[in-house]
Amino acid sequence: MYVIDQSTPAATPIEGLAHATWAGVSDGLTQLSVWRQTLTPGAATPPHSHSCDEVVLCHAGQGELHIDGQVRSFGAGQSVVLPREKLHQLFSVGATPLELTGIFGQTPVPVRLPDGQALELPWRS
């Protein structure tokens, strides 16, 4: 089970967000989760935070990171680096889908809403 296929992101209950878990606790890992996601133009994640580091690699499209009350633009060839506990939200703001790989320093991935409540993810993380 050392070599696994990279599955294609599939629709989720979050509008415009397709998701695939590429690696995580189900693959024998204890420290890492890797997600592949696609956000259609206009789609966004909920505002949220993680009690672990996160790195988001952008492969295509145009994104906005909302963090610290500010907006940072990013696109293909750039990455978003999020130290743990940082409340953030990602928006797909281009004319084409935002293609992302999300990398987390914990598995399963802990997700919290702004009020501190845990967000139950609609996918295996």
Residues that bind its own copies (CB under 8 A): 1-6, 22-23, 27-32, 34, 52-55, 57, 65, 67, 72-74, 77-84, 101, 103-106
Q: Which residue, 55 or 121, has its beta carbon nearer to its own copies?
A: 55
Rounded Cα gap, residues 98 and 121, in angstroms: 20
Q: How far is the CB of 82 from its own copies (least distance, A)?
A: 7
Q: Which residue, 70 or 117, has its beta carbon nearer to its own copies?
A: 70
Q: Which residue, 13 or 83, has its beta carbon nearer to its own copies?
A: 83
Q: How far is the CB of 51 from its own copies (least distance, A)?
A: 10
Q: How would you class 98 by CB atoms within 10 Å of its CB: exposed for 0-12, middle for 13-18, buried for 19 or more?
A: buried
Contacts of 125 (CB under 8 A, 6+ apart): 21, 24, 25, 33, 35, 104, 107, 108, 109
